[in-house]
Amino acid sequence: MEKKPFVTLEQLKEIEKTYPTPFYLYDEKGIRENAAKLKQAFAWNKGYKEYFAVKATPNPFLLNLLKEMGCGTDCSSMTELMMSKACGFNGHDIMFSSNDTPPEEFAYAEKLGAIINLDDITHIECLEQTLGYIPETISCRYNPGGVFKVSNDIMDNPGDSKYGMTTEQIFQAFKMLKDKGAKHFGIHAFLASNTVTVEYYPMLAKILFELAVKLQEETGAHVEFINLSGGIGIPYRPDQEPNDILAIGDGVRKVYEEVLVPAGMDDVAICTELGRFMMGPYGALVTKAIHEKHTHKEYVGVDACAVNLMRPAMYGAYHHITVMGKEDEPCGHMYDVVGSLCENNDKFAIDRMLPEIRKGDLLFIHDTGAHGFAMGYNYNGKLKSAELLLKQDGSVEMIRRAETPEDYFATFDFCDILKDID
């Protein structure tokens, strides 16, 4: 099975005339269609809202695109809050879910009217000291501990996670917050990452719905929204089936009717904060083969490196690669596809069977639309690439220019040591 790029070789050659490789390319049509389908999947819930996880793809052009589709933003830092504000998100269109949070970030989130999602019970005191009060609308992050299983397969290990409050702590937190003036409550949990199964969200929903019923019964706090967070993954490998978001939404609906409706909580709004699912398949890193090396293995060197896409080097993550124009040729050659960093883990693929690659071939690295460019860095003095948007009409818009050496040296602008660099 082969993944199909959302762009043709002819289009890439035309784009390359203006924007040299490497570059990120995003598919506007795919992003819009996917956001519409997500909205359809949860249309049964009157208050439903998707808060896009800005950390996945922090680009204001893409945030504005999602804003047009009715999404809010999920922020985890001051700069993500600032970007959301600049894009016109405000008030409860912003969810601030951070951890180990500096007090000034709590203050800025409250200034924007964002919903603050507390990661730890000790943050109640920090928030109150920072603001002088507790906001009327507040959320708490839950971590039940242990391991999280789907169909007896371990999906993740919440007990090893630094995030969220224990069961005992969240009950105590609700009581404290209510005593301090909070009136509208939400709960949030993230128990597994990048799941490719329709079972995860309904199972998570059941845990949170049952918790919400007990919290409301035992503390008297009015639970108004439940945030199922992220965790809906994408099929990075071509033999994986994509998630059926309509089936996932329907599975959550059934649990909602089973748990919340009988408890008289049929007004609870459902929230999601998806990143990978929203953007992952609709972004690609486009890079060019510039060298070949024949030693103990066969290597193809490209003009991108781990600075542009960190996941394979950091996690050993799989990203499918299409050699553009050779989609129908047999994958008869085994390569390591590598970048130019002085690190041996700077490899986009190891022992990957691909068509024969020649210098000048364009490689389309799939599923990099989330946690791709965002995780970039500047090791070895490497510079980050441009980001481009393939519009629905086939035109291309630059939505972030490539970095220059001037950008790299910009934080030395206070001194004269590097004034003669050219």
CA 126, 127, 131, 133 dihedral sign is: negative
Q: Tell me if 20 is assigned to some domain.
A: no
Q: Tell me if 11 is assigned to some domain.
A: no
**Which residue ranges of the chain lie beneath pLDDT 70?**
1, 151-156, 422
According to the model, what pLDDT value does residue 420 have?
73
Q: Tell me if 8 is assigned to some domain.
A: no
d(CA 163, CA 119): 6
Q: Tell me if 65 is assigned to some domain.
A: yes
Let me know: does 347 contact 337? Beta carbons within 8 Å. yes
Let me know: does 97 contact 75? Beta carbons within 8 Å. yes
| b/e burial code for range 397-411 (CB count within 10 A of at least 16 → b) | eebbeebeeeebeee
Q: Tell me if 234 is assigned to some domain.
A: yes
Let me know: does 382 contact 310? Beta carbons within 8 Å. no
Cβ neighbours of residue 398 closer than 8 Å, sequence gap 6 or more:
19, 386, 387, 388, 389
Q: Are residues 220 and 306 in the same domain?
A: no
| b/e burial code for range 146-155 (CB count within 10 A of at least 16 → b) | eebebeeeeb
Cβ neighbours of residue 219 closer than 8 Å, sequence gap 6 or more:
171, 174, 175, 178
Q: Give the number of domains in the chain.
A: 2
In this structure, how many other beta carbons lie within 10 angstroms of the beta carbon of residue 93?
A: 20
- Tokens representing 252 are 């959550």
According to the model, what pLDDT value does residue 155 have?
60
According to the model, what pLDDT value does residue 199 have?
94
Q: Are residues 252 and 287 in the same domain?
A: no
CATH of the domain at 196: 3.20.20.10
CATH of the domain at 398: 2.40.37.10
Let me know: does 207 contact 192? Beta carbons within 8 Å. no
Helix axes 28-41, 245-259, angle to 10 degrees: 20
The candidate with the shortest Cα–Cα distance to 240, out of 315, 312, 319, is 319
Residue 94 forms beta bridges with which residues?
Answer: 73
E strands in 259-346 = 269-272, 283-294, 298-302, 321-323, 333-338
Q: Tell me if 149 is assigned to some domain.
A: yes
Q: Is the pTM of this model over 0.85?
A: yes
Predicted confidence (pLDDT) per residue in 17-60, tens digit: 999 999 999 999 999 999 999 999 999 999 999 999 999 999 99
- The residue among 231, 252, 280 that closes a domain is 280
Q: Are residues 346 and 235 in the same domain?
A: no
- The residue among 280, 315, 336 that closes a domain is 280
Q: Tell me if 12 is assigned to some domain.
A: no
Q: Are residues 356 and 223 in the same domain?
A: no
> Amino acid letter at 121?
I
Q: Are residues 251 and 114 in the same domain?
A: yes
Let me know: does 408 contact 379? Beta carbons within 8 Å. no
Q: Tell me if 3 is assigned to some domain.
A: no
d(CA 265, CA 363): 51
Q: Are residues 193 and 329 in the same domain?
A: no
Q: Are residues 91 and 166 in the same domain?
A: yes
- The residue among 232, 264, 280 that closes a domain is 280
User: Position of tokens 């409706």?
Assistant: 261
Q: Are residues 311 and 369 in the same domain?
A: yes
The candidate with the shortest Cα–Cα distance to 24, out of 414, 392, 408, 384, is 384
Let me know: does 27 contact 63? Beta carbons within 8 Å. no
In this structure, how many other beta carbons lie within 10 angstroms of the beta carbon of residue 186?
A: 22
Domain containing 384 equals: 281-412
Q: Are residues 43 and 105 in the same domain?
A: yes
Q: Are residues 182 and 120 in the same domain?
A: yes
d(CA 278, CA 276): 5
Evaluate the omega torsion of the peptide bond into residue 235 and state whether it is cis, within 30 degrees of 0: no
Q: Are residues 233 and 370 in the same domain?
A: no
Q: Are residues 98 and 207 in the same domain?
A: yes
d(CA 344, CA 338): 9
| b/e burial code for range 231-257 (CB count within 10 A of at least 16 → b) | bbbbbbeeeeeebebeebbebbbebbe
